[in-house]
Amino acid sequence: MSDAYVHRVKPAWKKHALIDAETYEKWYRDSIKNPDRFWGKHGKRIDWFKPYTKVKNTTFSGKVSIKWFEDGVTNASYNCIDRHLKKRGNQTAIIWEGDNPYDDKKITYRELYEHVCRLANALKARGVKKGDRVTIYMPMIPEAAYAMLACARIGAIHSVVFGGFSPDSLAGRIQDCESDFVITADEGVRGGRKIPLKENTDKAIAIAEKAGAKVRHVLVVRRTGGKIDWVEGRDLWYHEETRNQKPDCKPEKMKAEDPLFILYTSGSTGKPKGVLHTTGGYLVFASMTHQYVFDYHDGDIYWCTADVGWVTGHSYIVYGPLANGAITLMFEGVPNYPDAARFWEVVDKHQVNIFYTAPTAIRALMGAGDHFVKKASRKSLRVLGTVGEPINPEAWEWYYRVVGEERCPIVDTWWQTETGGILISPLPGAIDLKAGSATKPFFGIQPQLVDDQGNEITGPGAGNLCLVDSWPGQMRTVYGDHKRFVETYFSTYKGKYFSGDGCRRDEDGYYWITGRVDDVLNVSGHRLGTAEVESALVSHEKVSEAAVVGYPHDIKGQGIYCYVTLMAGEKGSEALKKELIEHVRKEIGPIATPDKIQFAPGLPKTRSGKIMRRILRKIAEDDYQSLGDTSTLADPSVVEDLIGNRQNKK
């Protein structure tokens, strides 16, 4: 290995690890050569009420059909709870750490069982049935996990909506999957501030019902006791509904391909898509990747800092760890509250062994200074992980040297909402690390780089990242719109799943994700479509047109740059910029807060009217030298204006 930033597997990692280099190579070869045999064996890591006889039945061509373990019968909630009770009934399942550092609690597997069963019975008593969609709009409290597992237990499909999304965004998600039951809390608490979840839910339901939706019930967890409005007959208190329910509830028999959950995610066009994951394959893949990528051993304390509103929280706070009988830490707060030492103090307090977070948090904490890290011992840490966006080598090295004291391998895990679990990542103890590289594919994963014409690039090179065959955790469809599923993922390069990411493969066969090549932004590891931000902007009465692009941002990875054309007669001002920023926050949520707004009298368009974002990206990056060919523009002078306008402001 010639590259700088190589960190070879240390003897201590290898000694501890479940998988060494030889095993990785062998299993990987086996998994590709004979997927039926490989997954037929590993599918047994979860319990089945009726064992499968068929393993893989998938095609990426034509109508695209993905089925795994299709004749098997199981239940995700059973696998995450019941099957552990005999051995670990009294072991902690969830460690909850509140926003307030004095607030925490531990929930054993036995207690988890009772909470989940009571809630499952309460949902049934209110008429929730197998196949119904239940929307979960919750803060990071144990009830969020109970809600997911209670749905899974009775075969209801959950759709978790991140608590930071606006009423409008929540309304869209309720409508899209025709969900008539919402679980929320009175208020959430993050960084000492309250988030009006119930109030947002009320607003969302009003919006959704105007559009024809009908929400029968809202189940409300009392988190803060703050004042909320109450709709008699519709709204129900969680503690009242669950109190008198039996602490036992038989898990529904689910076919492997019965839906487990829907999770909305942004694409390059249109409204967010409802990514559908099913039961058997998803759970096999989430639990297996959790065990091997994090080198999880019995009794380890594992902490993923994500929110359950994102797929990372689904697969690596709830389903993967609990299916493995792990101890999973759930954190309500934020990295910098009360101060930037919080993560490391929580690590010491709960003796965390495995820690998984996002590059944006690492960069922000790196900026806050090493003394915050050094306030805590961190001696319990053994493995560090990162996910959500490319990590720059400087941040990687800081994480490795300062946080992990060169003792802990870093697993840089590449995956997506659509993939259900980790696809490219080092395995500690098996794969040498390179700062900034997600390294090698997990078992069964066949990455392929293709050029823009779809020709395969072999050996070292760069291109568009595709997967040429299926894996058990893959999404099965876009909820209610299979055509969109096929068009979005399998039509750009026929017969291949296209991830939307650009990627380089080096001379050692290591993968380096370079970021999205489509119109998807990645802001602090949160995914947003440029089209969504644009449609929020043009919904403002003074805006006639908008074009949104990403630009490099030191902490967030990407910032949001908006070019806005105003209605005739309107004048741009600082006050209007503020108003537009507020407007976008209200329409989508704080994660979509624009960083920069530039008023543009005209946008660069081709003669057929297509906005040339390539040019707008370059201007946003202050890179005026490589604008490329502008001769196809309907009015090339627009570009001069935009540049002049941008430079004047500096």
Judged by CB, which is closer to ligand WT7: 358, or 376? 358
Please tell me whether 61 is known to bind a ligand: no
CB of 106 to ligand WT7, least distance (A): 27
| Cα three-residue angle 44-324-264, rounded to 5 degrees | 95
CB-CB contact of 157 with 260 (8 Å)? yes
Instruction: Give the Cα separation of 419 and 472 in Å (integer).
Output: 9
Judged by CB, which is closer to ligand WT7: 235, or 501? 501
Please tell me whether 30 is known to bind a ligand: no
CB of 499 to ligand WT7, least distance (A): 6
Count of positions (residues) in the chain: 650
Judged by CB, which is closer to ligand WT7: 59, or 514? 514
Please tell me whether 7 is known to bind a ligand: no
Residue closest to ligand WT7 (Cβ): 417
Instruction: Give the Cα separation of 148 and 169 in Å (integer).
Output: 20
Residue 526 phi/psi, 5-degree rounding, is -100, 135
CB of 227 to ligand WT7, least distance (A): 34
Instruction: Give the Cα separation of 265 and 388 in Å (integer).
Output: 13
Please tell me whether 414 is known to bind a ligand: yes
The DSSP-derived string for 200-241 is HHHHHHHHHHHTT----EEEEE-SS-------TTTEEEHHHH
CB of 6 to ligand WT7, least distance (A): 18
CB of 391 to ligand WT7, least distance (A): 7
CB of 421 to ligand WT7, least distance (A): 9
Please tell me whether 303 is known to bind a ligand: no
Judged by CB, which is closer to ligand WT7: 59, or 268? 268
Instruction: Give the Cα separation of 523 and 528 in Å (integer).
Output: 7
Judged by CB, which is closer to ligand WT7: 249, or 503? 503
Instruction: Give the Cα separation of 350 and 364 in Å (integer).
Output: 23
Judged by CB, which is closer to ligand WT7: 73, or 304? 304
Closest CA to 416 of 397, 399, 431, 438: 438
Please tell me whether 363 is known to bind a ligand: no
CB of 414 to ligand WT7, least distance (A): 4
Distances, alpha carbon 70 to alpha carbons 54, 56, 187, 468, 500, in Å:
6, 8, 41, 21, 28
Please tell me whether 538 is known to bind a ligand: yes
Please tell me whether 413 is known to bind a ligand: yes
Judged by CB, which is closer to ligand WT7: 138, or 311? 311
Please tell me whether 192 is known to bind a ligand: yes
Q: Up-side HSE of residue 442: CA atoms within 13 Å toward CB?
A: 26
Please tell me whether 220 is known to bind a ligand: no
Bridge partners of residue 217, in order along the sequence? 181
CB of 289 to ligand WT7, least distance (A): 11
DSSP-based three-state secondary structure for 424: strand
Instruction: Give the Cα separation of 359 and 648 in Å (integer).
Output: 33
Please tell me whether 373 is known to bind a ligand: no
Please tell me whether 543 is known to bind a ligand: yes
Please tell me whether 8 is known to bind a ligand: no
Q: Strands, DSSP E only, in 382-496?
A: 383-387, 410-413, 433-434, 447-450, 456-457, 461-467, 477-478
Calculated CA dihedral for residues 506, 511, 516, 521, nearest 10 degrees: -120
Interaxial angle between packed helices 35-42 and 280-293, expressed in degrees from 0 to 180 and rounded to the nearest 10: 80
CB of 389 to ligand WT7, least distance (A): 5
Judged by CB, which is closer to ligand WT7: 204, or 387? 387
Q: Strands, DSSP E only, in 326-468?
A: 327-331, 354-357, 383-387, 410-413, 433-434, 447-450, 456-457, 461-467
Bridge partners of residue 57, in order along the sequence? 67
Cβ-based neighbours of 39, under 8 Å, separated by 6 or more: 31, 55, 56, 68, 69, 284, 444, 472
Please tell me whether 312 is known to bind a ligand: yes
Judged by CB, which is closer to ligand WT7: 449, or 580? 449
Instruction: Give the Cα separation of 565 and 402 in Å (integer).
Output: 46
Paired tokens of 534: 């644009």
For strands 181-185 and 217-221, give the pairing.
parallel
Please tell me whether 474 is known to bind a ligand: no
Instruction: Give the Cα separation of 65 and 475 in Å (integer).
Output: 10
| Burial call 110-135: b when 16+ CB within 10 Å, e when fewer | bbbbbbbbbbbbbbbeeebeeebbbb
Judged by CB, which is closer to ligand WT7: 325, or 420? 420
Please tell me whether 436 is known to bind a ligand: no
Judged by CB, which is closer to ligand WT7: 156, or 588? 588
DSSP-based three-state secondary structure for 345: helix
Calculated CA dihedral for residues 20, 26, 29, 33, nearest 10 degrees: -140
Instruction: Give the Cα separation of 583 and 600 in Å (integer).
Output: 18
Please tell me whether 484 is known to bind a ligand: no
Judged by CB, which is closer to ligand WT7: 58, or 268? 268
CB of 503 to ligand WT7, least distance (A): 9
Question: Residues in the site for ligand WT7, rule: CB under 6 A?
Answer: 265, 311-312, 387-390, 412-417, 438, 499-501, 513, 515-516, 522, 527
Judged by CB, which is closer to ligand WT7: 228, or 465? 465
DSSP-based three-state secondary structure for 198: helix
**What are the binding residues for CoA?**
190-193, 312, 336, 524, 585
**What are the binding residues for ATP?**
388-390, 412-417, 501, 516, 527
**What are the binding residues for Mg(2+)?**
538, 540, 543
**What are the binding residues?**
190-193, 312, 336, 388-390, 412-417, 501, 516, 524, 527, 538, 540, 543, 585
